[in-house]
């Protein structure tokens, strides 16, 4: 079963060899590699060309952002399965083998397999955090009774570098969000649609190395959190959601909106926090995370407390 591996590349020449070496060291060998150079201005292309493996192809395009780069690679895939590895991260040797074993057990029942990761350079495994959020190994299919916090944790658990999916499913769902060179939440836009329409498999074993020190787009942001595209305009995600799951989706979006409102208020933009919170107000009686904290952060009090906390930490 051929797996197409898409590596979006933008000015990561210093890390690309590590990523590609980890791909070619995989225990599972039936794959092709598509490096999509997204308008890099460093030596990344030369680094990619130095790898002579016949399974490697290189595509270049004008800079359009990570979502567009992944989608370009998706359009070029020949495999029935697709995986994405960012140029500054790496896979453990058993990443593909572990994921493909799950598909072999369920030939047509699951749309994707997502495994755990180790955060580098701290060498911190995602295993304990994932368990604390209620995630367990096995297949997952959302239903109207799924706790919203669990559904939200599933969305957060899925990342491009830790997921193998059926190519046609990802294509049918429209791939990654790419409007406006979006670089934050472009993948969650896809995972929401996938989770609310398909059965997926969760594997808590860490199989990916995520290098936070090398990433420009992920990790703990040192300022205001950008508003995710599915919160700016939820119509596409809502339109793809089965009718019986729309109340659950509403609560999941509310949780993400409440969390983003907390960050906006903490950094002083309580008015934006209030607008976002009003847009995704939930009438659910479920104990939604961040509900009450966001209520405070959507007032001037939230900004005052955030400013005081930053000064205290800086002292």
Residue-level pLDDT at 222: 57
Tens digits of residue pLDDT in 107-153: 678 999 999 999 999 999 999 999 999 999 999 999 999 999 999 99
Candidate ranges 98-102, 211-215, 282-286; pick with highest mean pLDDT? 98-102
Side-chain-side CA neighbours of 174 within 13 Å: the count stands at 16
Check: CB of residue 77 under 8 Å from CB of residue 167.
yes
Going from N- to C-terminal start, the domains of the chain cover 3-214, 229-314
Strands 124-125 and 81-84: unpaired
Query: What is the residue-averaged pLDDT of the chain?
Result: 93
pTM of the model: 0.92
d(CA 255, CA 258): 5
262 pLDDT band, cuts 50/70/90, is very high
User: Which residues are within 8 A (CB) of 271 and not within 5 positions of it... i.e. 6 or more apart?
Assistant: none
Tens digits of residue pLDDT in 219-231: 445 567 679 999 9
d(CA 247, CA 143): 10
CA-based end-to-end distance of the chain? 57
Superfamily of domain 3-214: Spore Coat Polysaccharide Biosynthesis Protein SpsA; Chain A (3.90.550.10)
Q: Is 33 exposed, middle or buried (0-12, 13-18, 19+ CB in 10 A)?
A: buried
């Amino acid at each position: 079963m051929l797996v197409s591996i898409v590596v979006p590349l933008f000015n990561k020449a210093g890390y690309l060899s590590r990523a590609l070496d980890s791909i070619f060291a995989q225990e599972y060998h039936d794959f092709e590699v598509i490096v999509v150079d997204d308008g890099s201005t460093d030596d990344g292309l030369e680094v990619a060309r130095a790898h002579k493996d016949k399974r490697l192809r290189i595509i270049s395009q004008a800079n359009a952002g990570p979502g567009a780069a992944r989608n370009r690679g998706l359009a070029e895939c020949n495999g029935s399965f697709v995986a994405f590895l960012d140029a500054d991260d790496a896979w453990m040797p058993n990443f593909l083998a572990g994921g493909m074993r799950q598909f072999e057990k369920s030939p047509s029942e699951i749309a994707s397999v997502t495994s755990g990761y180790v955060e580098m350079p701290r060498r911190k495994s995602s295993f304990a955090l994932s368990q604390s959020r209620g995630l367990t190994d096995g297949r997952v299919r959302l239903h109207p009774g799924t706790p919203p916090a669990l559904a939200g944790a599933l969305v957060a658990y899925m990342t491009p570098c830790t997921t193998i999916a059926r190519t046609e499913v990802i294509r049918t769902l429209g791939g990654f969000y790419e409007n406006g060179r979006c670089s934050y939440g472009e993948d969650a836009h896809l995972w929401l649609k996938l989770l609310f329409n398909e059965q997926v498999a969760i594997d808590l074993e860490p199989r990916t190395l995520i290098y936070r020190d090398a990433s420009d787009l992920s990790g703990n942001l040192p300022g205001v959190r950008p508003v995710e595209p599915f919160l700016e305009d939820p119509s596409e995600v809502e339109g793809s959601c089965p009718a019986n799951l729309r109340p659950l989706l509403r609560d999941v979006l509310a949780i993400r909106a409440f969390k983003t409102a907390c960050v906006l208020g903490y950094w002083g933009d309580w008015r934006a926090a209030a607008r976002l919170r009003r847009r995704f107000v939930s009438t659910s009686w479920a104990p939604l995370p961040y509900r009450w904290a966001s209520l405070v952060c959507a007032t001037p009090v939230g900004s005052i407390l955030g400013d005081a906390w930053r000064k205290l930490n800086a002292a």
